[in-house]
């Protein structure tokens, strides 16, 4: 009985620590995705406990001035540049800044792709900096 209880306690502690200590970015922590083909980056910085900023720019390969035909696939959720309010100045897109709620540790390892129409033109994974 004692054994079962300590296993349960261990499982609880493990989950708790994982959720609070290991998977929370501290203020000032950064993460980034690099786009090689489009010569771009997206960087994420934890600015308060619950919000992070995003800064993104693509320096080449965005040849059409139409934010409705370029898309960002973030882990399966696809939104157009227009929906993200990202401006295009061919061959560049951005720079683009935003602040949103969340913790950047939840983004680590996330797949991110840039699409032109339905074709992926570059992709990357978000890594801790």
Binding site for ligand NAG (CB under 6 A): 39, 53, 55, 59-60, 85, 97
What letter does residue 11 receive in the DSSP assignment?
Answer: H
Contacts (Cβ under 8 Å, ≥6 apart) of 26? 46
Q: Which is nearer to ligand NAG, 5 or 56 (CB)?
A: 56
Q: Which is nearer to ligand NAG, 55 or 116 (CB)?
A: 55
Least distance to ligand NAG, CB of residue 97, Å: 4
Cα end-to-end distance, the chain, whole Å: 45
Least distance to ligand NAG, CB of residue 95, Å: 6
Residue with tokens 């709620």: 101
Least distance to ligand NAG, CB of residue 2, Å: 53
Contacts (Cβ under 8 Å, ≥6 apart) of 15? none
């Amino acid at each position: 009985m004692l054994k079962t209880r300590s296993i349960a306690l261990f499982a609880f502690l493990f989950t708790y620590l994982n959720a609070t200590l290991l998977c929370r970015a501290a203020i000032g922590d950064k993460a980034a995705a690099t786009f090689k083909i489009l010569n771009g980056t997206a960087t994420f910085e934890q600015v308060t406990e619950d919000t992070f900023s995003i800064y993104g720019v693509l320096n080449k390969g965005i040849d059409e001035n139409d934010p409705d035909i370029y898309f960002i696939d973030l882990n399966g959720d696809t939104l157009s540049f227009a929906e993200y309010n990202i401006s295009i100045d061919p061959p560049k897109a951005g720079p683009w800044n935003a602040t949103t709620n969340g913790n950047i540790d939840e983004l680590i390892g996330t797949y991110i792709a840039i699409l032109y129409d339905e074709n992926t033109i570059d992709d990357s994974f978000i890594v801790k900096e």
